Amino acid sequence: MSKFQISNIYKAVVIGGSAGSFQGVTKILSALPKDFSLPIILCLHRLKHVRNGFEEALSIKSSKPVTEPCDKESIKKGGVYLAPSNYHLAVELGNSFSLSTEEMINNSRPAIDVTLETASYVFRHKLIGILLSGANKDGALGMKKIKDRGGVTIVQEPSECMIETMPTSAMSVTTIDYVLGVDLIIEFLLELDQQYK
């Protein structure tokens, strides 16, 4: 019996997080099959001046390689993409990424709101947004956009978060479809993957 009501209309999964989300992200990435059907786009708060190391740290713990896309790089089915340091990562027309050095948002660059909002603009209701543990409200408005455009919103169960501000901020501005612990987020994604097999 299926726990979730999922179909195979989705085009991408976007995951945001900051303080305390690293473990959750690596747990999710390590649990996914190598041939996971959708692109996964990660926007995690990170040190502005440290360009290297994060991609590698995530890749080691992931079942699939994690890459920081270059500007206008294509979004490939099954790719795992990470917003590079000191750039906003946006989803562009033509199934590609755009980077930007625009002003910081919520004191962050990359800002989760930018990635979530632009992804939902392009993918509309065919997007799944997941927001994990974090120490500020970045991502809340992005989640609202996803919901307003008909996509699916998931936040990490606040009691499980190291810092719950990020998920609770999202919960206070929009409807969240699923409030889940990381283990259940993984179940969700595995079930989602099954829809495409």
Catalytic residues: 18, 45, 138
x/- contact string, 30-69, with other proteins (CB under 8 A)?
-------------------x-x----------------xx
138 touching other proteins, by CB under 8 A: no
SS3 call for 150: coil
Q: Which of residues 1-20 bind other proteins (CB under 8 A)?
A: 3-4
Read off the tokens for 69.
């896309």
Q: Is the dihedral of CA 59, 64, 65, 68 positive or negative?
A: negative
Q: Which of residues 165-184 bind other proteins (CB under 8 A)?
A: 171-180, 184
Among 30, 59, 95, 100, contact with other proteins (rule: CB under 8 A)? 100
Stretch that binds other proteins, among 6-14, 33-41, 100-108, 125-133 (CB under 8 A): 100-108
Minimum Å gap between C-beta 184 and other proteins is 7
Q: Which of residues 112-131 bind other proteins (CB under 8 A)?
A: 114, 118, 121-122
Q: Which is nearer to other proteins, 51 or 125 (CB)?
A: 51
Minimum Å gap between C-beta 79 and other proteins is 16
For residue 4, what are the CA distances in angstroms to 67, 192, 195?
Answer: 29, 9, 12
Closest CA to 44 of 35, 33, 62: 62
Residue 17, burial from CB neighbour count under 10 angstroms (0-12, 13-18, 19+): buried
Q: Which residue has the tokens 């809340």?
A: 140
Q: Which residues of 166-186 are buried (b: 16+ CB within 10 A; e: fewer)?
A: bbbbbbeebebbbbbebebbb
Question: Which residues contact other proteins (rule: CB under 8 A)?
Answer: 3-4, 49, 51, 68-73, 84, 86-87, 90-94, 98-103, 114, 118, 121-122, 171-180, 184
